[in-house]
Structures are given as structure tokens and as C-alpha cells.
Structure 1
């Protein structure tokens, strides 16, 4: 194996801060996500090569008051990937780490957001953009 693409995400429109929604989002998007980069790091470290790709969100850098836990969880994902990348660089290991910050994708998760932004893309277009970014060995997309 030379490449792993990690995607873990759930999000609820949560303008009233329903604690159960917040907890589920953190459980899936943080606790669920962190397992795979950790395993991939150790595996690729032993090979001295590989590529870890994590799917984050534009929400990591753009606040939205209706999905606070989602945005915070994607900030965690991006910072975790940056930290893994820095750790590998300090160890002089040739493992790539890419953080994909997707915008709004036309899925059920985005359908309920009344503040949907103009850059909504189809799942197919998003997948092709991710594929191109991985092929180019981008650090962040």
C-alpha cells in the first residue's frame, strides 16, 4: 500500500446547540478520524514512503454558527494532518501528507444548509479535484 485516503464526517445543522449532535460530530469527525492517520503514520514510517490524504473541509477555516462542532472538528483534522506532516519532516521521512479542504459538495449533508455557498460542486467534480490534487502530491487543496 502506498496511499491512504481518510474521510470521516458527519454534520448536523445545529443552531440550538443540541449536545447530542455536538457529541456525535466530535465522536465521528475527531475520534473516528484520528485512528487511521495514526495507523498510516506508523505503517508508512516503517516503509519510509507513502502518502496520507485526509479529507477535511473549508469549514476548518470558515466559521458557520449553525455547525460549530463540525467546523471545530475539521479544524482538528487539518491541524492533526499538519502535525503529522511536520513530525515526518523532522524525522526526514519521505511520506507525503495532504489535507483536502473540500467546499460544499452537493450531498445530503449540504442540502439542509440555507446558507449554501455559491461554490457547491457535484460529488463527481469534487472526486476529480481530489484525484488531481493527490496526483500532484499537493500539501493542501
Structure 2
């Protein structure tokens, strides 16, 4: 290789690493399918280096193949709260930093018979796992003095629901927890932003039951969530028309709501 060619190659490598360093860094917890997967793709298309997590390694590998070099995968379960912090720390080190963490992992099922196994699994993911990830992220951003935590909760968290009691209750927990973290950030006087994305019905396996309406595609839901994150919105309903339903749910008298 001639000296000129060697110099050109060295310059190209320097530019490549410089570009990687200037890219924003994000982690999507629960990126194997649905909204989480679409958000990961959107971030990768918008100058983010993205850490993707989930329980199913084959689905994370498929996502990596879509955008070679843009994703760093980590296989773990959010309910394993003993190893989760180490996994996230390792992922941040591989990314070279962290600007944004999105909690997209979640579960829930119709449970008219109040099967304890369904309720306990819902709480394990949506409460215990969610709390562990949210706390890790907030502590990281507090130490860093900046950052953005976003989470996909649900309009179901506004009131209780007879079809899936643990799901509604766990989403109410998430909504209130995020509000607590937002208040904590303000009290600390730090630029740590908290975004609470509350979808209605989205065309994923999570959407169960009859009479579903205003069902959004995962891509449309992800795009609106991404825009809300970029705008640093505190609360956003997905899709936007669900704000009307949220208003009705909040203000419907209890004696009427209980008959639904």
C-alpha cells in the first residue's frame, strides 16, 4: 500500500469512528416485536446507535440483519432483576454512552377467572421488571446529569378494568411511577426528561378482546411516540385521538363506569 493510500485509509477510519462517537445512543428494552421493534428501526434511521434487548435472541438477530452496524443486542429478561443492571451497564459500554432509554417490554392478558399465574406474571414484568429498569436508567442519568427516559404505558392505566385487573393496575403503577421520576428530576434541577406514551389499541398480540376500534399499526404508533420523544413531551396518547377517550374515562362517574 502506498503512503498516500495508507493515509487515505487512516483518514477514513478516523472519520468513521468520529461519526460513531457523534451518533446519539439509545436502548430499547423489549425490541423483539411490535412497537419496540418499530421504535428501534426508527431510531436507527435517525442517527442513533441502538441497543436492543429482549428474551428471544433469534428475533434480535433478525433485527440486527436489517441495519448492520446500527444495533447492539443483549438477551435478557427484565424480570431477572439481579442480572438486569449488569446487562444494561454492559450494553451502555458497548454503545459508548446513553442518551435515551425506552421501556417497551410489557405483558398482559384477559383474565376473567382471575388466574393467579396470569396476574403474577403481569406484575412481574409490568411492575417489578419495569421498576428495576426505570430506576437503573434514572440513576444513570442522574449521575450523568442528563438523559431521557421514555416508557410505553397504556390508556388502560387510567382506571381499573374487570377484563384484566392486573394489567390495568400495573399500567396505573407505571403512569404514577413515571410522574414520580419526573418530579424527582425537577427537584434535582437536572435535564432528565420523562415521556409517558399511552397507547390505545395497537395491532400487536397485546390487543385482545372484541369490539376493538381505532386500532393503529405498530409503525404508526412508533412514529408518534418517536416524535413525542424528540419533542420531549411529558405525556402523549397514541394515537392522538385517544386523548378524547382518556378524557371520557377520567371523568365518567363511577356508577356508570362500574356498569361497563
Which residue of the partner structure matches residue 97 of structure 1?
194
Aligned 1:1-141 pairs, distance under 5 A: 1-110=98-207, 112-116=208-212, 118-141=213-236
Unaligned residue ranges in structure 2 (runs of 5+):
1-97, 237-260
Is 2:159–2:172's contact at 8 Å kept on the other side of the alignment?
Answer: no
Asked if 2 retains the 8 angstrom alpha-carbon contact of 1:53 and 1:100, the reply is yes
- How many angstroms apart in 2 are the aligned matches of 1:30 and 1:48? 26
Larger RCO: 1 or 2 (CA < 8 Å, sep 6+): 1
Task: State the 1:108 CA deviation.
Answer: 1.5
CA distance in 2, matches of 1:128, 1:106: 14
Runs of 4+ in 1 over 4 A off after TM superposition: none
Q: 1:12-38, CA deviations, whole angstroms, 9 ceiling, x for partnerless residues? A: 111111111111100111111111110
TM-score by length of 1: 0.94
- Higher gyration radius (CA): 2
Q: Which runs of 5+ in 1 are unaligned?
A: none
Contact 1:58/1:101 (<8 A) preserved: yes
| 1:62 to partner: Cα distance | 4.0
SS of 2:173's equivalent in the other structure is: helix
Taking only aligned residues, the RMSD between alpha carbons, in angstroms, comes to 1.1
